[in-house]
Amino acid sequence: MVMCMKIGIIGVPMDLGQKRRGVDMGPTAMRIAGLIDRLSDLGHQIFDFGNVTGPDRSTARHGMDNARYLADILKMCNNIAEQVSACVSEKMMPLVIGGDQSVSIGTFGGLAPHGTDRGIIWIDAHADFNTHRTTPSGNVHGMALAAILGKGLPRLADFRKISPKALEKNTVIIGCRSIDNGEDDLLSRSKITVYTMKEVDEMGIAEVMEQAIHIARRGTSDVHVSFDIDVLDPREAPGTGTPVPGGLTYREAHLAMEMLHEAGIVTSAELVEVNPILDHENRTAEIAVQLLESLFGKRILKPKRK
């Protein structure tokens, strides 16, 4: 039986952190795919707070080339942080749906005032560990994890005046297969554990997740899961702005989410980078919702009654 939870859903229609248009429609696409009803059907209390408001591409200022739209991203992240913090204060689990990965900076801006002894499981085709000095694109969504862990531009790293916002030694990246050179150097000097697709192929997703759960939960009771839909192979989930071949299969992704639910360690979550403009008949949003169902307790078979 799934334990009933109070889940606060926060939509973030942000597309400022990257260059492909359309990802701001991701929250709407997931709601159309039945997110609210399907999590409710699992027995959870769902509180949908709608979409966070803030600047969009039509009015945003480009700013510096190595951190594009920074000022407006931080405005939106500040609004995200307020809503996330309110959820935590009301004993709800925040579930943030994006929007590009830069929304994570806002998510952690809201989590950090409630404690920074927090592990992270970052499931993503990319490490998102660039800074303004290493980025080849200037896309802030590729700096999100670095900023959360206190690295990079002070305006990002010190957002909401708390830095770092989680435990680097309890941070695990899973499924990455596209890492920039400067990012690689930063990761090699960090305490982050990285399971690339090579490790997934060699060890299998079950062993990777078992180890990741152990690392993330070690010495802490709070673990955040960030799931970027581009971790899936593009043949499975075409509706995303930075696809990379050779990703997780549909079943590998579900097993990862099922194991996270069974471990009972997740206290906040987000799912990002669904872009319906690049999708086929809302297929990627549908998969995203199915993965969230697994994270929140959906099983293939109901447990037998004793």
CATH number at residue 42: 3.40.800.10
Grade residue 3 by pLDDT with cuts at 50, 70 and 90: confident
Domain boundaries, position 165: 6-295
Residue 300, pLDDT score? 77
Model confidence over 35-62: pLDDT tens digits?
A: 999 999 999 999 999 999 998 888 889 9
Q: How far apart (Å, rounded) are the C-alpha atoms in residues 213 and 265?
A: 8
305 falls within a domain: no
Interacting residues of 302 by C-beta distance below 8 A, sequence separation 6+: none
Grade residue 93 by pLDDT with cuts at 50, 70 and 90: very high
Mean pLDDT for the chain?
A: 96
What predicted TM-score, i.e. pTM, was given to this entire model?
Answer: 0.96
306 falls within a domain: no
Grade residue 163 by pLDDT with cuts at 50, 70 and 90: very high
Roughly how many angstroms between the first and final C-alpha of the chain, as a whole number?
Answer: 12
Mean of pLDDT values over 147-160: 97
Percent of the chain with pLDDT over 70: 97
100 falls within a domain: yes
86 falls within a domain: yes
What is the tally of structural domains in the chain? 1
Please spell the DSSP secondary structure of 51-72, one letter per residue: EPP---TTT-----TTSTTHHH
Closest listed residue to residue 252, CA positions, set 161, 149, 174, 186: 174
Model confidence over 244-295: pLDDT tens digits?
A: 999 999 999 999 999 999 999 999 999 999 999 999 999 999 999 999 999 9
Grade residue 128 by pLDDT with cuts at 50, 70 and 90: very high
121 falls within a domain: yes
Q: How far apart (Å, rounded) are the C-alpha atoms in residues 123 and 127?
A: 9
